[in-house]
Structure 1
Amino acid sequence: MLTKTSLAGKESQYSHQNVLIVGGGPAGLATALMLAKRGWTNITVLEKRPTADYYEPDKSFNYLIDGRSQKFTDLFGLTQQLATLSVPSTEFYLTVIKPNGSRKTSKVPVVDPKRKTAYWIPRRAFVNLLYQEIEKNWSNHITVLFNTQCLEINKIDIDSEDAEKLEVFAQTNNNSKTKFEPDFLVGCDGINSIVRETLKKWDRSTSNRFEMKKFPSPSSGLRYKVLSLPPNFSLDHADKEHAVSTMAYGIRGAFRKRQRSLSLGLLPLKNPDEPRSANIITYPDHQIWELKSGEEVYDFIGQAFPQLPINKILLLPEAERFAKSEGGYFPNPQYSSGLYFLFKQQPDKGIVLLGDAIHCFPPDIGQGVNSALEDVYILNEALEKSDDKLSDALPLYESWRLPDTKALIRLAQIAYPWQYNQAPVRKWLWSINFAFRLLLNRLLPHVFSPPAFFMIQNHQLSYQEIMVMAQRTTQRLYLLVLAVIFGFLLLPYFVYFKDIF
């Protein structure tokens, strides 16, 4: 395993290369930091947002940074700063507020106290943490260009040589265009990655390596919006109780019909002055998507949550913004089997994909950012193993990461897909299965594994190992059920022969 010491002051023979990273989210900035620490110097990051801490109400997600991400933050000595900015999972309290105003607060139990503490942090705070590390210690190696979007990627033949070069065109928000000619191109630009789409066009194989392979999930297709509420907003009409930033809330709505039923989910924040993001997740045919004006939103939310003083905590401008917002959809679990591209006869030139550009799924298992930072960590190990030679490192990265990526996508389908109250009967059946596995694990821990959702939280297990353990438990459950059925079928014969003898 690599350590901070093993990378400190490392001089790479490829440090003169131009690196261009498309996407300045967690995966992009983490990759830039990793390469800089390895000795690469000419690194440019393109990010379409205006700043690292830019606030987008509909993308004001909270991350749960677990042990997989902390492999990276440990490498850079950032875990302590992360803890300072976050709410630890060991102090995770949830208050459920019913329509009649009754409340119940409980501490969410820690599944395994021996595992590393995970940390709740807003997306923009985590991205800004990485960016501040760049500004403080790596500004001579890394340049981050905000308000800049990748437009086009071309592969150009060099006439005088049997070689190729890359041309990447980017545009800023003032419509000025810039051309880059990187030796190493990194795609960290999400599910609609222009880097991956370009590689798909270049791919001459019959295997469609860069085509995202999609799979069904009970939560795929659900729509989400975020309602931004004031910090410390009032929880009752008497204005006696106010929201606590470090507390999570589940606020239940009064409507019961599926097309009107609504809940607000708020995750904890360390910063008490941060706006609270109330997540709303529904079917696509929910009435919330038919509201076209702030007044309509204001009226509907007021009726849905009679326990809250909506007239005090939801301002009309926010209601107008919410009405205009298109929100988003939970995607199908999907992955690309192609993770890299190499240029012919040029061992020092290549393209690699990380994060949502190679694996994307609904947020059921909380592994979006964690799997992305683990991608960066694995790429780091592949570069270390190959002495930074891309022609060796990138195939090694794919061979190590692709099997885990496939397992991750399967886990996204089965681990915890019914948590959004989509279908009560199917959720009930799934919950019985979940509880039965948990019970058997506690009774016979060496025979039956815990539910996959719990194992995912163990960063010492790879996604492949978790999937194998979950499948083994499923097989043993089938055998157990068959044994019980067989026993019941044979019971009359045992009774019969017992009476005879």
Structure 2
Amino acid sequence: MLAKRGWINITVLEQRATADYYEPDKSFNYQIDGRGQKFTDFLGLTDKLSEISVPSTEFLLTQIKPDGSSKTSKLPTVNPNRKTAYWLPRRAFVLLLYQEIEQNWQDRITVLFNAKCVQINKKVINNSKQENLEVFVHTENGSVVTFKPYLLVGCDGLHSIVRNTLKEWDKPTSDKFEMKLFPSHSSCLRYKVLTLPPNFPLVSSGNEHAVSTVAYAIRGALRGRKRSVSLGILPLKNPDEPRSANIIKYPDHQIWELKNSEELYNFLENAFPQLPIRQIVSPEEAERFAKSEGGYFPIPQYCSGLHFLLIPEQACLEIPQSSSAGIVLLGDAIHCFPPDIGQGVNSALEDVYILNEALSQSNDELSRSLPLYESLRLPDTKALVYLAQTAYPWQYNQNSLGRLVWYVNFFLRLLLSRLLPFIFNPPAFFLIQNHQLSYQQIWVMVQRTTKTLYILGTILLFGLLALVLKASQNYVLFM
């Protein structure tokens, strides 16, 4: 985005070894929806994205039961009228972006792999009040390189060293760079990813094999909160690429206690009698999975500080404010949550799109564009985290009662929105799929419907009580 705006001398610090570096426990599938496509449209990448992805308007899921039978159904939570979204592996999307740099922006963008930012300083220049940035980076050959950037972009995740540095700098005056946490019914879940071969057999007989473009939910035979398990497998375009099976359960589940490949094989064979487990899970993968720590879904959280401006050269000399160096935060560094609503990557791409709008409206002057970016994006950042709390936290089968209550609420709102659209809005998960609505607009609509339901519920409750009292009075008079 910056290069397309005419910026030069852009350096990207990437901790991984390559753009398509494969990390088994981070081999997520992305669904780039209309919101994320604002960014790919801006760069002219949407056509290339569609070529390496599985397009989806509706979402069809094939369930494989323990007896080997299968059933394909359409998930009712997906809005069939949304803009076409695209499924692809995380590393395929990152590689697409890197190839764009290699083909079109090498003269403006340098990517340093195996590079890690270790320290950020603001340095006073020549005993004046002017401050400049210094960024210290460990590089691939073990040396430390110093950068003095005009703009530092912190999109380095939940544990962002950029945001943590700003938190220390700003600590005496505010807590705006401190993450604010909000509870969620999915934030305590633990996950691991099991890598399966392409076109693996879906049943022990070997008569039916997985199709790369199909999503699967392979149901287990074990019962009980600490033993039941399913394999969730999302679609991908390349039929020769390994499949990633997500296992998501509470931290006290039995599967996390397995210590080696043989223990894992025994558990999986009991859990999935329909699958030829030892045929589709290699000994190396079984051992890696057993030894892996996996990960935990984060608590929904955001920070209210999205930028920081350094003191420019002597203000009394009337130096233009555009000489200010600045820092801006994007993505998980400012909003992080479980993957319930599919907005992690899409909200991050939209952050970039909004930053581009702020730069356009302020002629690229950081002293104007970064505060504008924060004012434009912060309301959506807050609303996004509120939505992540409530929109779809029970989809992992972690609690049958919670899932049932959520579905009743979902279908009640969906039905009322179709019967009385001028009073009720669709449920949040439906609204999120409309990329033309901002997160803030969606949250306002959801809250309005919630208040209406509370008012109607209260009226119905008092009406019911009145009928009960009247009936009891008639009964007494009759007696």
Report what 2:320 is aligned to.
none
Q: Which residue in the other structure is 1:442 paired with?
A: 418
Alignment of 1:401 with 2:368, yes or no, is no
**Deviations for 1:183-240, whole angstroms, at most 9, x for unmatched residues?**
1101010000000011111114443111111110000121000000000001111111
Kindly state the Cα deviation for residue 476 of structure 1 after the two structures are TM-superposed. Answer: 0.8
Relative to 1, partners in 2 of residues 1:493 and 1:156: Cα closer, same or farther, differing over 3 Å?
A: closer
Matched to 1:251, the amino acid is I
Counterparts of 2:72 and 2:291, CA distance in 1:
34
Match of 2:104?
Answer: 137
The aligned runs of 1:36-115 (5 Å cut-off) are 36-90=3-57, 92-108=59-75, 111-115=78-82
Paired with 1:122 and 1:108, the residues of 2 have a C-alpha distance of: 21
Aligned residue number for residue 465 of structure 2: 489
2:353 is aligned to: 377
Task: Please say if residues 57 and 83 of structure 2, whose CA atoms lie closer than 8 Å, have aligned partners that are also in contact.
Answer: no
Contact 1:231 1:276 in 2 (8 A): yes
Residue of structure 2 equivalent to 1:303:
270
Aligned to 2:399: 423
Which residue, 246, 251, 258 being the options, matches 2:218? 251
For the structure 1 residues 492 and 91, does the alpha-carbon distance in structure 2 shift closer, same or farther, using more than 3 Å as the test? closer
Which residue in the other structure is 2:194 paired with? 227
Q: Is the Cα contact below 8 Å between 2:184 and 2:300 reproduced in 1?
A: yes
Structure 1 SS opposite 2:226: coil
Asked if residue 323 in structure 1 is aligned to residue 290 in structure 2, the reply is: yes
* Cα distance in 1 for residues equivalent to 2:140 and 2:280: 34
Q: Distance in 2 between matches of 1:370 and 1:339?
A: 18
Q: Shift of the alpha carbon at 1:166? A: 1.4
Q: 1:241 to 1:152 in 2, by over 3 A?
A: same
- Residue 146 (structure 2) pairs with residue 179 (structure 1): yes
Distance 2:4 2:174 in 1: 36
Give distance in 1, aligned partners of 2:175 and 2:415.
Answer: 43
Letter in 2 for 1:42: N
**Distance (Å, rounded) in 1 between the aligned partners of 2:183 and 2:75:** 30
Per-residue deviation at 1:425? 1.5
Letter in 2 for 1:36: A
Q: Distance in 2 between matches of 1:104 and 1:232?
A: 18
Q: Distance in 2 between matches of 1:306 and 1:396?
A: 57
Map Cα deviations across residues 257-289 of structure 1 (whole Å, 9 max, x no partner). Answer: 111111100000000011000000011111111
1:36 is paired with a residue whose SS is coil
Q: Provide the residue aligned with 1:474 in structure 2.
A: 450
The superposition leaves residues 148-195 of structure 1 with CA deviations (integer Å, 9 ceiling, x where unpaired) of: 111111111112533112111111243222111111101010000000
Deviation at 1:290, TM superposition (A): 1.0
Per the alignment, residue 91 of structure 2 pairs with 124
Once the two structures are superposed, the pairs formed by residues 264-343 of structure 1 within 5 Å of their partners are 264-343=231-310
- Deviation of 1:492 after TM superposition, in Å, equals 5.7
Name the SS for the 2:2 alignment partner: helix
- In the alignment, is the contact (CA less than 8 A) between 1:90 and 1:110 conserved in 2? no
Aligned-partner SS, 2:3: helix
User: Quick one: distance in 1 between partners of 2:116 and 2:348?
Assistant: 21
Paired letter, 1:356: D
Q: Secondary structure at the match of 2:231?
A: strand
Q: Distance in 1 between matches of 2:445 and 2:424?
A: 8
Work out whether residues 43 and 141 of structure 1, in 8 Å CA contact, stay in contact via their aligned partners in 2: yes
Q: Which stretch shows the higher mean deviation, 173-182 or 400-409?
A: 173-182
Output the TM-score relative to the length of structure 1: 0.90
Of the structure 1 ranges 151-160 and 365-374, higher mean CA displacement relative to structure 2 is found in 151-160
What is the TM-score normalised by the length of structure 2?
0.94
Deviation at 1:72, TM superposition (A): 0.8
| Alignment-derived partner of residue 155 in structure 1 | 122
- Is the CA contact 2:201–2:210 (under 8 Å) kept in the aligned structure 1? yes
Which amino acid in structure 2 is aligned with residue 344 of structure 1?
I
Structure 2: distance between partners of 1:79 and 1:171: 34
What is the distance in 1 between the residues matched to 2:50 and 2:80?
17
Q: In 1, are the aligned partners of 2:33 and 2:86 still within 8 Å (CA)?
A: yes
CA deviations 1:387-439 (Å, max 9, x no partner) are 00000000000011111100001000010011112221122122211111111
Q: Indicate the SS of the match to 2:135.
A: strand
Conserved? CA contact 2:29–2:234, under 8 Å: yes
Q: For the residues of structure 2 that align with 1:486 and 1:154, how far apart are their CA atoms?
A: 62
Could you tell me which residue of structure 2 aligns to residue 452 of structure 1? 428
Which stretch shows the higher mean deviation, 390-399 or 159-168?
Answer: 159-168
1:462 pairs with one of 438, 455, 464: 438
Percent of residue pairs identical: 69
The answer as to whether partners of 1:92 and 1:247 remain within 8 angstroms in 2 is no
For residues 84 and 204 of structure 1, do their structure 2 counterparts lie closer, same or farther at Cα, with a shift above 3 Å needed? same
5+ long unaligned stretches in structure 2: 314-322
Q: For 2:227, which of 260, 266, 272 is the aligned residue?
A: 260
Deviation at 1:110, TM superposition (A): 8.4
Alignment coverage as a number of residue pairs: 466
Cα shift at 1:115: 2.8
Greater mean deviation of Cα atoms: 341-350 or 215-224: 341-350
Query: Aligned-residue CA RMSD in angstroms?
Result: 1.8
1:96–1:105 CA contact under 8 A, matched in 2: yes
**Equivalent position to 2:135, from 154, 168, 189:** 168
